[in-house]
Amino acid sequence: MRVRRQGLRLLLVSAQAVPAAWTDGYTICGRVPPLLPEHVLLMHLRRCDGLLLYCLDAAERSRLVRLCCRENRCICTLPTPEEILLQSTGPLRAWKPGLTLLQRMQKRSLDIVFSLTALLLLWPLMLLCAAAVKCCDGGEVLYRQKRLTEGGRVFTCLKFRSMIPDAEANGPQLAVPGDARITPVGAVLRRFRLDELPQLFNILHGDMSVVGPRPERPAFTVQYTVQEPAFPLRLQVRAGLTGLAQVRGRYDTPPAEKLRMDLTYIARYSIFRDVEIILLTARALLLRPHGGTLRPQPKEEPT
């Protein structure tokens, strides 16, 4: 979220002083060099509202942004001249992780209204899906899986079971097109995304939101973080039933690209963006693609 600059106290991280004309309205409460050990930097950061990043290489800048997100501190950066032109921003911009209190209230209100309305309208369809799963092989109707949501909190994500009961006997595995573990009923549920309907209860409970980054499994989050250290930044908001990465990307879009879409959503959040993404999701589910039939969607989730 954007923050007011008046009275903001910043710790400058740079090998050189920042031009005074660029910090009008801010208070610089000290300067430390780049590559300072984290525990030393945190000691200085305790008396400030956030960091001002100036003339840092990409790796150090990324490290400090992740640190501020983890500590819920403001981040101020001095963009390059090219970034100023492309983003139509001033010479200094400030940002704080997460959503404002008003945004959180708006988002939660939308979540409650949407989930209650959807449950009231779709309960006959959900009963039909549950009966189909049970009649298919007599196994459990719901599949419960540990996923991550806001702040890295673990919650139990609910889905209609679409695979055989022992689908992950050999450990977590990503589903692939034509996966032999998928049951005949599960294939239909996945094709029309009906296996996700129980997550309406997760939304009503407050573990998820209608719109947000899709919840990832802890094991895969660790794996993706090794490949892309900024991956945990997507945990600034609740996980979502749908999201910008789902309506703009594809299911085979690399995690790094989905991360960029998730962070774009978080940084530019508004209640109107949520409504827009919900409508785009509904259109994608209801409208048939060019071939006249709904295209099967490969899924990232293992079940």
What are 7-50's pLDDT values in tens digits?
788 999 999 888 777 777 788 889 999 999 999 999 999 889 99
At residue 123 the predicted structure's pLDDT band, cuts being 50, 70 and 90, is: very high
At residue 83 the predicted structure's pLDDT band, cuts being 50, 70 and 90, is: low
Query: What are the backbone angles phi and psi of residue 236, rounded to the nearest 5°?
Result: -75, -20
At residue 86, does pLDDT exceed 70?
A: no
Pairing of strands 8-13, 26-32: parallel
Measure the CA–CA gap between 199 and 215, rounded to whole angstroms: 11
Quote the pLDDT of residue 111: 97
Residue ranges per domain, the chain? 8-95, 101-286
At residue 3 the predicted structure's pLDDT band, cuts being 50, 70 and 90, is: low
C-beta separation of 238 from 209 below 8 A? yes
Average of pLDDT values for 179-184?
86
Question: Residue 164, Cβ neighbours under 10 Å: how many?
Answer: 17
At residue 197 the predicted structure's pLDDT band, cuts being 50, 70 and 90, is: very high
Which comes out higher in pLDDT, residue 157 or 290? 157
**Which H/E stretch holds residue 153?**
none
pLDDT single digits (tens) 220-258: 899 988 888 888 889 999 999 999 988 887 767 788 888
Token couple for 303:
């079940």
**Which H/E stretch holds residue 275?**
helix 271-286
